[in-house]
Structure 1
Amino acid sequence: MEKIKVLFVCMGNICRSPTAEGVFTKLVNDRNLAPHFQIDSAGTHAYHVGNPPDLRAEKAAGERGVDISHLRARKVVLGDFEDYDYILAMDDENYAILSSACPASHRHKINYFLDYAPHLGKREVPDPYYGGSYGFERVLDMVEEASEGFLNALLETGKIKAMAHRRT
């Protein structure tokens, strides 16, 4: 079975993108769709390569039943542009970095993650790194909305058969 390959990208890969990876993975698992996906996250910078997610991100995600403690930061590499079907940027800066590094033949794969939650009226997931715990909660709210929207968009295109059943 051909998998849909999704890469979430922020700057350092310790706050927003691992949160998105964890939330989307949980959503896919809850809908019994895991066999259809390969999900990962990365950063545009190598600041934190090999490090686990920020403890505040881990705590906030954990309180919502999302375990991201096993994830480790990595930097986007050239091969990601070919390997992934969807490369979802968290903000303008990372979108621009991805677009400039990406071969022209793969640029169509790069999108803003929040484009899948247009009702939020925002395009950027704010970086919570320099703020308090409220910022991580806000990021989770946005990521949950965009994850639902992204999965629904994939279901609507028929890329995933409508076998999605919520576990009871």
Structure 2
Amino acid sequence: MGCSVLFVCLGNICRSPTAHGVFQKMVSDVGLMDEIQIDSAGTGDWHIGRGPDPRSQAAAQSRAYDLSALRARQVCAEDFQKFDYILAMDNSNLQDLRKMRSAQDTCHLGLFLDFASASAVREVPDPYYGGEGGFDEVLDLVEDGARGLLATIQRKLAEQG
């Protein structure tokens, strides 16, 4: 049966690949890589084919997450049928995704940090134009959201038997 998750930000070079890499490691650590499909994408098309921002990669690497194999792509209409969860990093991306979604799409579409428990923050801030500390803040938020998302999916998989 399994489950599939798509993380979405604007350019797919900072926040969503960070979420992708963090969640992938957590899923791997609990032995569910065969059960959970993970991807990331951007609502914009500026960085298609490029790897994550070097600052995102460095921050992730400092916590043993490897983003080097990821490449930016743009969200497409098929994603709404392919994924069970489409999770936006902020409200602006969520609005863009809602405009793309058709009436028959049944995936869970919402904010990634709705799954976070330790923070009252609901949007992952874009670190692109900020200082180096922004990338660590993104990781803190993403780790919290990823733990909550994984727990939710593990419960769902257990119910499916």
Contact 1:14 1:53 in 2 (8 A): yes
Gaps of 5+ in 1: 162-168
The aligned counterpart of 1:67 is 66
In the alignment, the residues of structure 2 paired with residue 95 and residue 107 of structure 1 have an alpha-carbon distance, to the nearest angstrom, of: 15
The aligned counterpart of 1:165 is none
Contact 1:99 1:107 in 2 (8 A): no
Aligned-residue CA RMSD in angstroms? Answer: 1.7
Cα offsets for 1:27-77 (capped at 9, x unmatched) = 000111111111000000001000000000000000100000110000001
Higher helix fraction: Structure 1 or Structure 2?
1
In the alignment, the residues of structure 1 paired with residue 14 and residue 24 of structure 2 have an alpha-carbon distance, to the nearest angstrom, of: 16
Cα pair distance change 1:119/1:64, threshold 3 Å: closer
Answering whether residue 101 of structure 2 is matched by residue 92 of structure 1, we say no
Aligned residues: 161
The aligned counterpart of 2:157 is 159
Gaps of 5+ in 2: none
Contact 2:83 2:107 in 1 (8 A): no
TM-score, structure 2 length as denominator?
A: 0.95
Contact 2:80 2:107 in 1 (8 A): no
Contact 2:52 2:68 in 1 (8 A): yes
The percent of aligned pairs where both chains have the same amino acid is: 49
In the alignment, the residues of structure 2 paired with residue 137 and residue 92 of structure 1 have an alpha-carbon distance, to the nearest angstrom, of: 21
- Alpha-carbon distance, 1:159 to partner: 1.8
